Amino acid sequence: MSEMMKVVMKTKGERGAVLTVKEIPKIGPKEVLVKVLATSICGTDLHIYKWDQWSQKRIKPPLVVGHEFAGEVVEVGSEVENIKVGDVVSAETHIVCEVCELCRTGNAHLCANTKILGVDTQGTFAEYVALPAVNAWVNPKGVDPAFLSIQEPLGNAVQTLLAGEIIGKTVAVVGCGPIGIFAVAVAKAVGAAKVIALEVNDYRLNLAKELGADVIINPKNEDPIIKVLEETEGLGVDVVAEMSGNPTALKQSLKYVKLGGRVSLLGIPAEEVSIDIANDVVFKGINLQGIVGRRMYETWYQVKGLIQSGKLNLAPVVTHRLPLEEFQKGFELMESGQCGKVVLYPDIKILEQYK
């Protein structure tokens, strides 16, 4: 094995990233070394690429970015027993301490000591990545690695939707980026009565329709509050899955959620948001909840079960497949919004196999 590998790295505190080379990581006794087969671009990666305020406070270059991936294990540490060479794995990207109160009481996804792959540690936009064995999720072989790489963001959508009752409920998915599109598919798969998708980007709104949205609304063209109430007999939706992080969209969702309904927040606003707590939360009796990543590892088993059920059609979500060398094109697509999931391949042979 060559001692060097190609990577996409954030080398400076400025917009962009570069394709360069770096030593293949050495693994510790509890880690595995994984050859990356496919790695998809996340909204977090785009934040880092753009070098926005969040990135400036959080990221410490030089850093190999990326965290959504699937790959083949090529080496295991001396203390690893649950993973073997040849396994095809994805990653739970939240690396937790395992010893704090939250970790030990079934709430590791809220661990205050969390480090995130590709944010706080070297990531997956590379030919190889080192990963704690406990974070490796073993996949079935023979599956398109692009679909395996998107299980992590799919898990975000699953936790958001399944944080309360869904069967027979009306659901509004606000923001139809890739995770929002997943949320539409998940809501339909688990028995929602009606799914309403709200998005200002028509390309992604049409993807939401393809994934099963019963009603699509572009808030630039019509009043979302009036439209949602029309679609719910004036009652409002039972559940809001807020994926956009847009302050206006969030405030509007509090107006069209049903009395006693649920608003699950996954989208991250770039600024503080002022809401009418008295009239839109307290007097409506709604459940306003924050969602952090995936429950470890309950959500992963839920994702596995949903995929095995055959009720999730993930194919339309993967809209672009590119060699790693064309990462800038991938980020341009993400920034334009004219895409679903963009998947990068370090090995061109793997890309050609599944393209």
- Domain 157-290: CATH superfamily, name plus number: NAD(P)-binding Rossmann-like Domain (3.40.50.720)
C-alpha distances in angstroms, 332 versus 51, 71, 161, 338, 345? 14, 25, 29, 9, 17
Tell me: is residue 167 an annotated ligand-binding position: no
Bridge partner list, 115 = 95
Whether residue 249 contacts residue 256, with contact meaning beta carbons closer than 8 Å, is answered with no
CATH of domain 4-150+314-354: 3.90.180.10
pLDDT, the chain, mean? 96
**CA-only gyration radius of the chain, Å:** 20
11, 20, 39, 44: the active-site residue: 44
Rounded to 5°, the CA angle 105-110-12 comes to 145
The answer to the question of whether 262 is labelled as a binding residue is no
Task: Give the pLDDT score at 277.
Answer: 96
Please report, for residues 119, 193, 204, 243, the alpha-carbon distance to residue 182 in angstroms, rounded to integers and kept in the order given: 23, 17, 11, 11
Query: 42 a known binding residue?
Result: yes
pLDDT digits (tens), the chain, 355 positions: 569 999 999 999 999 999 999 999 999 999 999 999 999 999 999 999 999 988 999 999 999 999 999 999 999 999 999 999 999 999 999 999 999 999 999 999 999 999 999 999 999 999 999 999 999 999 998 899 999 999 999 999 999 999 999 999 999 999 999 999 999 999 999 999 999 999 999 999 999 999 999 999 999 999 999 999 999 999 999 999 999 999 999 999 999 999 999 999 999 887 889 999 999 999 999 999 999 999 999 999 999 999 999 999 888 999 999 999 999 999 999 999 999 999 999 999 999 998 7
DSSP string, 97-115: -S-SHHHHTT-GGG-TT-E
According to the annotation, is 176 in a ligand binding site? no
Residue 90 tokens read as 């994805």
Q: Identify residue 118 by its one-letter amino acid code.
A: G
Catalytic residue among 39, 47, 232, 320: 47
User: Does 199 show up as a binding residue in the annotation?
Assistant: yes
Q: Domains of the chain: which residue ranges? A: 4-150+314-354, 157-290
Residue 109, marked binder: no
Whole-prediction pTM value? Answer: 0.94
109 is catalytic: no
Closest CA to 323 of 347, 289, 301, 353: 347
Whether 121 is a known active-site residue: answer no
Tell me whether residue 97 is annotated as binding. yes
pLDDT one-digit tens code per residue, 260-299: 999 999 998 878 899 999 999 999 999 999 999 999 999 9
**Same CATH fold, 157-290 and 4-150+314-354?**
no
Helices (H), the chain: 43-50, 53-58, 101-104, 145-149, 151-161, 178-189, 202-210, 224-231, 247-256, 277, 298-309, 327-336, 348-354
